[in-house]
Amino acid sequence: MFRFPARLVGAAVALTLAAANPGFAQQLELKLMAPAAPGGGWDQTARSMQQALVASGVARSVQVTNVPGAGGSVGIAQFVNGAKGDGNHLMVNGFVMVGALAMNKSPVTLEQVTPIARLTEEIQVIVVPANSPIKTAQDLAAAVKADIAKVTFAGGSAGGVDHVMAALFAGAVGAEAKKINYIPFSGGGESLAAILGGKVTAGISGLSEYEGQIKSGKLRAIGVTSEKRIAGSDVPTFKEQGIDLVIANWRSVVAPPGITPEQRKTLSDAVEKMVKSDAWKEILKQKGWEDAYLGGDAFADFLKKETARVTDVLKSVGLVKS
């Protein structure tokens, strides 16, 4: 990764030259918004993209900005309003934003942005503290059935994938999904602390975020949401344990509204080039993300269908008033 052991002064000169020289304009100078606080999944996606775009030579510079708040509702509002027509601006988004926008009755919707590509998919996991009496998903199911209010789930923002998953879990084990006691935390760090400290019964998150804790034995993973068991992992799926719970947290990247078809093509090509680069593949391996690249109109379709599906789930569990 450190192929340029250039001295800073040299780098600064090169930077100024590049800015003055129109021949360099081929290389993009991108702004990339992560509509979440630093450290979370979208932020990591954005910073990984930054790394891969620069390392693979697709972009000369990528500036990541964080606009946290309510599952990305704040970020997308600012993105749609502030970056309209800006062909050098991208925003990371994903599953969580779909639900959040529906719940907030946001005036800004995902129909307004220009879809570029789906990038990754992440398997979700339910964890409990190492000293918890709950050992398997069936134990948790029993606890939920016994008294749903007393089983507290910690996870990300209200209406996000973690919240939806808690509701789906309750539904799948035959409890009343409406009554789940779900506690949203603002950052991955805060909810992890609450789980480690035994303040909540269980925690829901993407598998990679808690991987270190699971490996070190501080947390116990009681189930993952993939169809089949992940290669090389000894964590059982929910399906194996007789609970029908399959869900994935996808992440994608979109452009602002009002960009020209050429600008859209430039951005799509850049993202496609990045996805195919070695730097990106290396990052995926490192973070344990599944490559789920889906570009162009296929992604636009997917986004539409997923929006409809998530809104339905949220309505059926009473998170969105129909």
Partner 1 sequence: MTSGDPVQPPRRVDRAGLVIAASLAVLAAVLVWDARGLQSAAMYGMGPEAMPVVVACGLALLAIGNFIDALRGNLPARESADPVPVVLVLVGLALLIAIIGFGGGFILATSALFVTTSAAFGRRAILIDAIIALVMSTLIYLAFDRLLTLSLPAGPLERLL
Partner 2 sequence: MDTFAALAHGMAVAVQPMNLLYALIGVFLGTAVGVLPGIGPALTVALLLPVTYKLDPGGSLIMFAGIYYGGMYGGSTTAILINTPGESASMATALEGNKMAKAGRGGPALATSAIGSFVAGTIATIGLAFLAPWLVDVAVRFGPEDYFALMCVAFVTVSATFGDSPIRGLTSLFIGLTLGLVGIDKLTGQARLAFGVPELLDGVEVTTLAVGLFAVGEALYVASRRHHTEEKLEPVRGSLWMTKEDWKRSWKPWLRGTMFGFPIGALPAGGAEIPTFLSYSTEKRLTKHPEEFGKGAIEGVAGPEAANNASAAGTLVPLLTLGLPTSATAAMMLAGFQQYGLNPGPLLFAERPDLVWGLIASLFIANMMLLVLNLPLVGLWVRLLAIPQPWLYAGILVFATMGTIAAKPSVVELSMLAGFGVLGFLMRRFDFPIAPVVVGLILGPIAESQLRRALAISLGDPMTLLQSPISATLLGIALIALVAPFVLKGLGRFKANED
Binding mask 262-301 for partner 1 (x = CB under 8 A): ----------------------------------------
Residue 82 interacts with which of partner 2, partner 1, none, CB < 5 to 8 Å by class: partner 2
Are 253 and 119 in contact, with CB atoms under 8 Å apart?
Answer: yes
The stretch among 2-10, 20-28, 111-119, 295-303 that binds partner 2 (CB under 8 A) is 2-10
Nearer to partner 2, 265 or 315 (CB): 315
| 66 interacts with partner 1 by CB under 8 A | no
| 179 interacts with partner 1 by CB under 8 A | yes
Compute the C-alpha angle 96/99/105, nearest 5°.
130
Quote the tokens at residue 23.
């021949």
Pairing of strands 114-129, 219-224: antiparallel
| 63 interacts with partner 1 by CB under 8 A | yes
Binding mask 215-244 for partner 2 (x = CB under 8 A): xx-x--------------------------
| Member of 56, 61, 78, 316 binding partner 1 (CB under 8 A) | 61
| 27 interacts with partner 2 by CB under 8 A | no
Residue 94 interacts with which of partner 1, partner 2, none, CB < 5 to 8 Å by class: none
Residue 23 interacts with which of partner 2, partner 1, none, CB < 5 to 8 Å by class: none
Binding mask 268-307 for partner 2 (x = CB under 8 A): --------------x---x---------------------
- Which residues contact residue 227 at a Cβ distance below 8 angstroms, ignoring those fewer than 6 apart? 237, 239, 246
| 322 interacts with partner 2 by CB under 8 A | no
| 74 interacts with partner 1 by CB under 8 A | no
Nearer to partner 2, 40 or 87 (CB): 40
Are 116 and 263 in contact, with CB atoms under 8 Å apart?
Answer: no
Site size for partner 2, by CB under 8 A?
A: 62
- Which residues contact residue 175 at a Cβ distance below 8 angstroms, ignoring those fewer than 6 apart? 144, 145, 148
- Which residues contact residue 137 at a Cβ distance below 8 angstroms, ignoring those fewer than 6 apart? 126, 222, 223, 236, 238, 241, 243
Q: What is the CA radius of gyration of the chain?
A: 21
Residue 146 interacts with which of partner 2, partner 1, none, CB < 5 to 8 Å by class: none
Q: Strand, helix or coil at 318?
A: coil
Distance in angstroms (rounded) separating the CA atoms of residues 246 and 224:
8
Are 219 and 203 in contact, with CB atoms under 8 Å apart?
Answer: yes
Side-chain-side CA neighbours of 277 within 13 Å: the count stands at 21
